[in-house]
Structure 1
Amino acid sequence: MPVLPGAEPYRHEGGEVGVLLCHGFTGSPQSLRPWAEYLAERGLTVSLPLLPGHGTRWQDMAVTGWQDWYAEVDRELRGLQERCSQVFVFGLSMGGALTLRLAAKHGEAVSGIVVVNPANKVHGLAAHALPVVRHLVPTTKGVASDIAKEGVEEVGYDRVPLHAAHSLRQFLRLVDGELPQVTQPMVVLHSPQDHVVPPVDTARVLSRVSSSDVKEIVLEQSYHVATLDHDAERIFDESHAFICRLAPSIGKKGSTSGG
């Protein structure tokens, strides 16, 4: 199945400091592409993979689960660790949850993390019915393009496959239990007006991680996909400043490849 235009993975070979970026549930690398390119332009080695089942059609996602999505980012992280002296992990929404699990599992091999509107729980009464309902109803309405900025669209599915949503719910419960294992320096950016992930999720993450070096930033002008919204440049600038503070030397520019 061909990848949707704009949803292709992105990689840039830069210096000795690497960054892995993790996109969200039913989304694609397009939501983080400007962030990835910003970091690449500043000489960093960047990896922005396309998660399995994403970026094509929702039917492809219906046969994948959290184990597939996590395995992809774990593989990409290990690849960066082989090439780079320091590696950071950034993520949006479910990508934030993937980031937190990578931090919990890889320990000191991850130098720091940045999460934007991190997902922590599947909310609503329907969440408890997912184990049964997913066998009766294939999809529900999509969650893509929650963006305040006019004229900006996220490349994502207009339907959510309920088998995948059930798997996401299991994954978020797993990650919640592992949050105390997260000790890395971190920046948490969140939008008060988020129609996909409520602010309580960020509060829960902040209350459970063991990190002592934590910076919390409120994104007043943006909705859920803040990386494509009014506060995007602030996210990019803050994340780069975070890397500069923790990485003594940021290498020279390399080459770029999409796809």
Structure 2
Amino acid sequence: MNGLSLDLGLAGRSVVITGGAGLIGRIVVDHFLAAGSNVSSLDITYPKSEPTHARPAFKAIHCDVSSEESVQQAFRQASTAHGPVEICIALASFDLSVLKPSSFAEASLSQLKRVLDVNITGTWLTARAWFQGLQQAKQDGTALQHPNLIMIGSESGHFGERQNAEYSLAKSAVQGGLLMSLRAEAPRVWQGARVNVVAPGPVETDRWHEECKQNTEQLYLEAQATTALCEPVPVKAVAMAILSLASHNFSSHVHGQVINVDGGKQGKIMWTKEEVAEHRG
């Protein structure tokens, strides 16, 4: 048992987190800071002028992940602040709480395009910037410690979203074709580099509680009826899954996987009792 350590091994590591000012992102940022990492938090809500922060390990950077120029500039700022990016958490995306639901026949093409721009193109650009950083570090002879990329998927990528097909489509692309492609690519760019996806279920954010007040059936339909643990997912549980997956000490050979943090969710309810009664007349 000599030499056994439960240290995450994340202290001093250069970490980029996109969507870092969001309801989940800010908790993920706090967890990496608590682990001793140097965190660059990228978010479109941050001002373009650099804010001053008392914590040298934290840097807030304005970034629109749907813009190639913005992503590249943000990664340059992150590398200047904390060195080449070793760990990248591609978390920024539109979620269901900000999307307008509708029947597919009435679905909005403009909403589809915006979701694809942010949730797919944004993740693609973020991943590419991380890959480019690995290439540059190799060319410069810079030592990196176990680089890895974690992209954020969703239960919707598995089960679909009846009134928001665009969201499900985007998450499926990330945790399907993009993950499988990068799984093969990353170790060729840097030996041992890993890529994985964390796919949360219904996450218990402040916005979740507001939505449950507006729709009293949401808790049951989304987080109880089809979920083995019969409860929504705490934000901390998502953050800890990401932290563990980012740690070489804890997850050194987890690669190319979708890690579901969903309380054992098995699907979506197809029909409510009211809909069945109406449908059958």
TM over 0.5: no
Higher relative contact order, structure no. (Cα contacts within 8 Å, ≥ 6 residues apart): 1
| Structure ID, larger Rg | 2
TM-score range, shorter chain: 0.3 to 0.5
TM-score by length of 1: 0.43
TM-score by length of 2: 0.40
Greater helix content: 2
